[in-house]
Structure 1
Amino acid sequence: MFMEELSRDQLWAIYNTLSDTLKDAIFSEDTADAIFNICKLYEIDKNSEVAKIVGRILMGLLPPEFLKDTLQEETGINEDIAKKTTMEIEHFILNPVKKELDALYQEVQEKKEKPAGDIKEQPLEELEKEDDYREPIQ
């Protein structure tokens, strides 16, 4: 899954909004060990890519349901290994912080659903007026 690249400042700004539990999980030695051991178990030589994917999930940037597909796309592993890897990551890394992740993604979803600004409905006549800013189509 293609993710837009965020600057270091943007990532820190997002990180600073997270709960302490999620902050701890991101930089936890247990998380790093779990990623290392899972990659070793399934012979995945792209530990840093897996760590980035897990980090994006823990920061609210990649919904957990996209983990398997994202692992496949970004590491090149096959579907079976991606499925097994996903189960391991969920068990050892995501499930211990499930309550916090659910709250984070609920918040993210609510932000997406809020309309941007106060948009009033316009009467149909106004919408059908000729647009002075566009050139006529020939």
Structure 2
Amino acid sequence: MPEYSQEQLWKLFETLPQELKDALLSEDTANTIREISQRHGIKEEELPRFAALVGDILMGLLPPEEFPKTLERESKIDEEKAEKISREVNRFILFPVKDSLAEFYKEIRFAPGGRLIRTEAREEKRVEEAKEETKKEERPPQADIYREPIE
């Protein structure tokens, strides 16, 4: 997964619907992440990365269907446990904000029990726009050669 600068992440955050901003900053979301990690034996040192992956989903950077594989790869969790964790994240964190998440994904469908069926990414355009804005702002200011000096 590509790394984003703090500035790019803030620009993405500012474009989020209020419901997703609230979910990202919510104490309830943090508690749910901690409870899921405790239930499934995620080590304390792996908790920040787990929380970051959930945040990436809420920001539209990580499609929810890629979450189990990414979690398995980055946290060295077996496939079965990653699927169980993913189902709980989908059920307790993503499902309540699925209407807002639909803005970033063309289609997002959940099966009973919180299992994600399918999503199609729509976030690429939004990420590219944020990168372009950052590039535009990085240009150093230059003296205006067309401006006449004040006497």
TM-score range, shorter chain: 0.7 to 0.9
Aligned equivalents of 2:59, 2:123: Cα separation in 1:
14
CA contact (8 A) 2:105 2:123 kept: yes
CA RMSD of aligned residues (A): 1.6
Change (3 A) 1:41 1:65: same
Aligned equivalents of 2:49, 2:124: Cα separation in 1:
29
Q: Where does structure 2 lack aligned partners over 5 or more consecutive residues? A: 107-120, 127-151
AA at the equivalent of 1:111? K
* Counterpart residue number, 1:78: 78
Aligned equivalents of 1:23, 1:71: Cα separation in 2:
23
Aligned equivalents of 2:123, 2:64: Cα separation in 1:
13
Could you tell me the TM-score, scaled by structure 1's length?
0.75
Flag the structure with more relative contact order, 1 or 2, with Cα contacts below 8 A and sequence separation at least 6.
Answer: 1
Query: Shift of the alpha carbon at 1:84?
Result: 0.6
Change (3 A) 1:47 1:110: closer
* Counterpart residue number, 1:31: 29
Among 108, 117, 125, the residue aligned to 1:111:
125
Number of aligned residues: 110
Q: For residues 26-74 of structure 1, what are the alpha-carbon distances to aligned partners after superposition, in whole Å with 9 as ceiling and x for unaligned?
A: 1111110011000000001111111010011000111111011011011
* Counterpart residue number, 1:116: none
Give the strand-richer structure, 1 or 2.
2
Q: Where does structure 1 lack aligned partners over 5 or more consecutive residues? A: 113-138
Aligned equivalents of 1:78, 1:35: Cα separation in 2:
18
After TM superposition, list the pairs within 5 Å mapping 1:1-138 onto structure 2: 3-45=1-43, 46-106=46-106, 108=122, 111=125
Q: For residues 57-101 of structure 1, what are the alpha-carbon distances to aligned partners after superposition, in whole Å with 9 as ceiling and x for unaligned?
A: 000111111011011011110011101100110011000001110
Query: Shift of the alpha carbon at 1:109?
Result: 5.4
CA contact (8 A) 2:61 2:123 kept: no
Change (3 A) 1:104 1:80: same
Aligned equivalents of 1:109, 1:103: Cα separation in 2:
9
